[in-house]
Structure 1
Amino acid sequence: MKAVRERRESKEIVVRALHTTQGHDLDVYAFFIKGADIVKVADISRVDRDESDALKGFQRPEIRTHVKGIIDYLSQGDVLFPNAIILAMSPQVRFTASRGTRPTGDEGLAQAGTLTIPVNEAGERVAWIVDGQQRSLALAQIADKGIAVPVVAFISDSLELQRQQFILVNKAKPLPSRLINELLPETNGIQLPKDLSARKVPSEICNFLNRDVNSPFFKLIKRPSDRTNSEAIITDTAVITMIRNSMNNPLGALAPFKASLRDGPDLQSMYRLLVNFWNAVRAVFPDAWGLDPRQSRLMHSAGIEAMGVLMDRIYGRFSGTQGSYEAVKKELERVASSCRWTEGNWETLGVAWNEIQSTPRDIKKLQDALVRAYTTSSAS
């Protein structure tokens, strides 16, 4: 009686699907399903150990910040979501092929029909998420429950096969951060998650600095797409980080030009300020400018980021107005005698010039040394 009652209470989801076979006659289906329904038909097989210490499952634990980022993106309104969720499905699902003649030119790679998927209780569902755990959890939490999500599913009860597919679809390295940074300025007209949106403006300004002949950084910045520029010596990540830090600091030199509720960011004002400051840097430290980071720590990631903090301090003295080139140059000259970019030892740090590395600790120490030298000189 219990079994009969459970069958009666069981529900089903029916979708149009394409069927094909791969490998050793492994059934594979492609279809669309409501985003909120994925977690109704599929369980997450989290990696764990059973009582005998045997490994079970294959998924990593939920990453809350990742899920929240996806939720924020999907909640923006009309968004594009073409990323397919990959499921392993039990043979309990049923496929019924559509009748009719094959269209002219059809090579017969797939057969159309309907796929019936039982909806069971958690822990007893007929599918397991192989790829798309965080996306599936996010889709279940957004207000728009009807967003159509592409799914590719293969039929197998084998945990070994499920793990194999999980490893294969996740083994490829994610896009390098520098490549993402370079691509972001070209993503006009589409909505981006908050974490990517925050990287777009700094990367766009970095492009300007590298391409403008009037910029002190002209052709000096390494970008992933520019592999033939032998003059490039500064990593774009350092420049982007310097810009982003100044924008995000409420007292930063670039903060006043960030986007307001009505207007977008004032890129031109940001760019003029950066060119003004770094032209002054080049003038004050001519022997250290334009050299390989191994020869000059001013061109090193640590030097670029630390000087960005000093930039914020210097412009803070101008009461919110943009200082002239000469005014900025005069302020920079206050710290020139304390800097050891190409030789000697940093007296306040007790380390040689080339011992400064691109680590959070060294960058922070260099920032503090520059600010301390500037504050001391200003007070005298």
Structure 2
Amino acid sequence: MSKEVRTIERRALRIMQNPEMPVYLFALAAEEVGQVSDVARISRDEAGKLIGYQRPERRSHVKQILEYLDSGDVLFPNGLILALPETVKFRASRGPATSDGLSTSGVLEIPIPESDDAPRPAWIVDGQQRSLALSRTKNSRMPVPIAGFVAPTLAMQREQFLRINTVAPLPSNLVTELLPEVFAAPSPRLSARRLPSALVDMLNQDPDSPFRGLIKRASSDGIERKRAVVTDTGLVEALKESLESPAGVLFPYRNMALGTTDTEGIRRLLLTYWTAVRELFPEAWGKPPTQSRLMGGVGIRAMSRLMDRVMVHVAVESADAAEVTRKELGRIAPLCRWTDGAWSEIGLPWNELQNTPRHISALSNYLARAYVDARAGKK
């Protein structure tokens, strides 16, 4: 005979904003939050697949909330948002006065594990810092307002996580890494970053990529973070610029009429170009920006804009694409000062170049002019 499943039952309101995704409003005691829900920390498994979506714990923030919760008279209206399992059950109350046309009252049943080591049924989509403080407070029976929705897939949870956190912005690198994993971006602004985000993910994981393991990701562990030297948000912006500008070399790879993208063609071009960059500047590649401005935002953005000029002269599918790319980049290589010396035309020592719009524009324009002049035989 199978064991009877243990449940927490709470009076709740069901709100049907979406006919296939009801929202439930109810309360849990502070100590019950940890019994019902857990935090899906962002990380990657051994195969490199993204798991979770939450940023790391902010200890100082949790401590401040905990001190308030333990201080005595507490008003804590800031609720939590939970992604609930499909196994929750809602029983509407009987009688004509149970619904006002906007919500229906009833009882929500949430199954909870018998063992403390077993997985929790729900995931915290918003309020992870508050939930950690609630799990540690002495005021363990304090009622906590909860809004929950049934989310059968991790992709749906990630999508709602991004939507909910639009007002209080998430770290840019966390958004960057999550975007390729959701079915629909929460806003036009984020939608425009979705493809560049996926390309950055490819550059960080592709065995043939010169950027492999060098890009800082929200999911990177301690060992990976020590090796990573390139900020992913800078790469996202660089790729987004090339994809969206008609003058960008990546722009023709998108068929706007059909809504399709030649991602394999983009991959081939990016690997060809950036591999050539690595081979031409081996002393500057893979070092932190404090030692090489090539790997900083100013270098990445300027060299990406140069890519738009260089790669129009390269037949990427040809057998000699790598050789031609190195030759084209070689025109400006002697002028570059990534790790020492000074950029004479810009009037700055190498280590005074900063990741600012003014310096990015100055370096981009200088490299573009030098490349055009070199191809024209002026220098």
Could you tell me how far apart the structure 2 residues matched to 1:282 and 1:170 are? 37
Q: What aligned pairs does 1:1-380 form with structure 2 within 5 A after superposition?
A: 31-32=15-16, 113-115=98-100, 173-188=168-183, 190=184, 192-228=186-222, 229=224, 230-318=226-314, 324-380=321-377
Could you tell me how far apart the structure 1 residues matched to 2:165 and 2:197 are? 27
* TM-score, length of structure 1 as denominator length: 0.56
* Structure 1 counterpart of 2:61: none
Could you tell me how far apart the structure 2 residues matched to 1:225 and 1:170 are? 18
Could you tell me how far apart the structure 2 residues matched to 1:214 and 1:320 are? 15
Do 1:185 and 1:203's aligned partners in 2 also have CA atoms closer than 8 Å? Answer: yes
- Deviation string 1:306-355 (CA, Å, 9 cap, x unpaired) is 00110001123348987711111001111011111001110110011111
1:233 maps to amino acid: V
Secondary structure of the corresponding residue to residue 113 of structure 1: coil
Q: Which runs of 5+ in 2 are unaligned?
A: 1-9, 19-78, 80-91, 103-145, 148-163
Could you tell me how far apart the structure 1 residues matched to 2:201 and 2:316 are? 26
Q: CA deviation at 1:197?
A: 2.0
Q: Paired residues, what number? A: 236
**257-266 or 307-316, larger mean C-alpha shift:** 257-266
Do 2:185 and 2:194's aligned partners in 1 also have CA atoms closer than 8 Å? Answer: no
Q: CA deviation at 1:205?
A: 1.1
Percent of aligned pairs with the same residue?
41
1:304 maps to amino acid: I
- Deviation string 1:75-98 (CA, Å, 9 cap, x unpaired) is xxxxxxxxx9xxxxxxxxxxxx96
Could you tell me how far apart the structure 1 residues matched to 2:314 and 2:247 are? 12
Could you tell me how far apart the structure 2 residues matched to 1:197 and 1:259 are? 16
* Structure 1 counterpart of 2:119: none
Could you tell me how far apart the structure 1 residues matched to 2:338 and 2:165 are? 43
Could you tell me how far apart the structure 1 residues matched to 2:189 and 2:260 are? 17
Could you tell me how far apart the structure 1 residues matched to 2:16 and 2:202 are? 42
1:347 maps to amino acid: S
Could you tell me how far apart the structure 2 residues matched to 1:365 and 1:346 are? 11
Do 1:251 and 1:316's aligned partners in 2 also have CA atoms closer than 8 Å? Answer: no
Could you tell me how far apart the structure 2 residues matched to 1:330 and 1:98 are? 76
Q: Which runs of 5+ in 1 are unaligned?
A: 1-18, 21-27, 35-83, 85-96, 101-111, 118-150, 153-168
1:376 maps to amino acid: D
1:178 maps to amino acid: N
1:305 maps to amino acid: R
Secondary structure of the corresponding residue to residue 308 of structure 2: helix
- Deviation string 1:11-34 (CA, Å, 9 cap, x unpaired) is xxxxxxxx97xxxxxxx9664469
Do 2:294 and 2:338's aligned partners in 1 also have CA atoms closer than 8 Å? Answer: yes
2:269 maps to amino acid: L
